Structure 1
Amino acid sequence: MHQIPDPNQVFPNEYKTSCFIKNVVKAPNISIGDYTYYDDSEDPTGFERNNVLFNYPEFGDHLIIGKFCAIASGTKFIMGPANHRISSVTTYPFHVFGGAWQENTPPHLDQLPRKGDTVLGNDVWIGRECVIMPGVRIGDGAIVAACSVVVRDIPPYTVFGGNPAKFIKNRFDEELTGLLLQFRWWDLEPEELVEVLPLLCDPDLEKVKREIRARVRTK
């Protein structure tokens, strides 16, 4: 039996800067997969408080993050209630200041644009100080360069960067990308995952392609 990291630990190693954040996030509208970590030398367990901004579950949007994601220090997820009303001639949120302003305006949350859920796939790497805007979907295996502002969806196994984040390159050719999306290594049982780790970390991509192709065929 292998000694496998426990996804239910808060700190998976002795450095205590990387936190498996599914174990510290409590908001009912945030879902995080096994082994996804947030890395921060100052307050890694404060992810929900410091990095998920304007989160009011009653608004109805969700933050959904898959398994094995690596989220670097300073990344911010902006939730829907951060928005302002944009359907009228002014964006000013009169209602939240009470008094006669509140009496003469609709409820604040009811006026906000709804972008939907923010979703990260599996094995996504988010660089330092990125900002992820409401309703964005980032596909499996994608990489977002440091200090990027993500305002639109990012396809699987691509690299995006900048403000606003734009396509930089595909990580792999079309065949390998398709095989990885079929293989879904992040769903393997822990012991089986240990067996394929050498393959997942092998820079010989043609060899990787051959072996994953064979594994997908036998599923």
Structure 2
Amino acid sequence: MQKIGPDPSAVYPNENIKQICYIKNVITRPNIIVGEYTYYDDADGAENFESHVTHHYEFLGDRLIIGKFCAIAKGVEFIMNGANHRMNSVTTYPFNIMGHGWEKATPSLDDLPFKGDTVIGNDVWIGQNVTVMPGIHIGDGAIVAANSVVTKDIPAYHIAGGNPSRIIKKRFDDEFIDHLLTLKWWDWPAEKIFSKLEILCSADLELIKALE
């Protein structure tokens, strides 16, 4: 039988490289949703990706949604809405979680800043030691430079970096970005991706413009 790529249901797509893990196949939390072929690269335990999603509490209802074919480097941290403190009062100190009577000052959910779901598109490359703040949206094909703190949304096929991150440049012109967003190659069946792999990995953009 001809090989057309790794098994998307495998924990380790390459059995010889255990530092790369397909995240979808190790997720246990219902509020983390990850597409096929998206991987986390970490020699210290790639299968422990969920430990890099912090302050994530089911009662808040926020989700981390990551698309297909994303490349996520070691040290990433997705900070979710549970990290937020009340900001409309004199003090931001969370007295209630310390107990011993202080729970009388428990804030309502309406008192806490809530930024909604964190959404990462398809074919996104997130560099080493990147921190993504609550409610951020990163578009398809974007690149986030190493050591960045993402505090604002990043449009599709843009490169961002810094602390706080800022847009550095577009990867392609608007017309070509529109073509790629229409193409949605990440939704192709495995057989088609395999047959067009050399074109997808080519620097000859004219070849890609001809794809349908």
TM value normalised by structure 1:
0.93
Match of 1:161, SS? strand
Q: Residues of 1 paired with 2:97 and 2:143: CA distance?
A: 38
The answer to whether structure 1 residue 193 and structure 2 residue 203 are counterparts is: no
In the alignment, is the contact (CA less than 8 A) between 1:81 and 1:109 conserved in 2? Answer: no
- Of stretches 110-119 and 153-162 in structure 1, the one that deviates more from structure 2 is 110-119
Q: What runs of 5+ residues in structure 1 fail to find an aligned partner?
A: none
Q: Which residue of 2 aligns with 1:161?
A: 161
Hey, which bits of structure 1, 4+ residues long, moved more than 6 A?
none
Q: What runs of 5+ residues in structure 2 fail to find an aligned partner?
A: none
Which letter does structure 2 place at the counterpart of 1:74? G
Q: Number of matched residues?
A: 210
Q: Residues of 1 paired with 2:181 and 2:86: CA distance?
A: 38
In the alignment, is the contact (CA less than 8 A) between 2:95 and 2:106 conserved in 1? Answer: no
Match of 1:180, SS? helix
Q: Residues of 2 paired with 1:65 and 1:114: CA distance?
A: 19
Offset of 1:109 from its aligned partner?
5.2
In the alignment, is the contact (CA less than 8 A) between 2:71 and 2:125 conserved in 1? Answer: yes
Q: Which residue of 2 aligns with 1:181?
A: 181
Offset of 1:127 from its aligned partner?
0.1
Instruction: Identify the match of residue 44 of structure 1 among 42, 46, 52.
Output: 46
1:157-207 residue CA offsets vs partner (Å, 9 max, x unmatched)? 000000011010100111111100000000001101111111101111133
Offset of 1:87 from its aligned partner?
1.3
Q: Residues of 2 paired with 1:102 and 1:53: CA distance?
A: 23
Identity %: 55
In the alignment, is the contact (CA less than 8 A) between 1:160 and 1:169 conserved in 2? Answer: yes
Offset of 1:55 from its aligned partner?
1.1
Which letter does structure 1 place at the counterpart of 2:183? F
Q: Residues of 1 paired with 2:156 and 2:50: CA distance?
A: 25
The answer to whether structure 1 residue 57 and structure 2 residue 77 are counterparts is: no
In the alignment, is the contact (CA less than 8 A) between 1:95 and 1:108 conserved in 2? Answer: no
Q: Which residue of 1 aligns with 2:28?
A: 26
Offset of 1:83 from its aligned partner?
1.0
Match of 2:101, SS? helix
- Of stretches 68-77 and 108-117 in structure 1, the one that deviates more from structure 2 is 108-117
Which letter does structure 1 place at the counterpart of 2:154? I
Q: Residues of 2 paired with 1:88 and 1:2: CA distance?
A: 63
Which letter does structure 1 place at the counterpart of 2:33? S
Q: Which residue of 2 aligns with 1:136?
A: 136
Q: Residues of 1 paired with 2:173 and 2:107: CA distance?
A: 49
Q: Which residue of 1 aligns with 2:115?
A: 115
Q: Residues of 1 paired with 2:202 and 2:46: CA distance?
A: 30
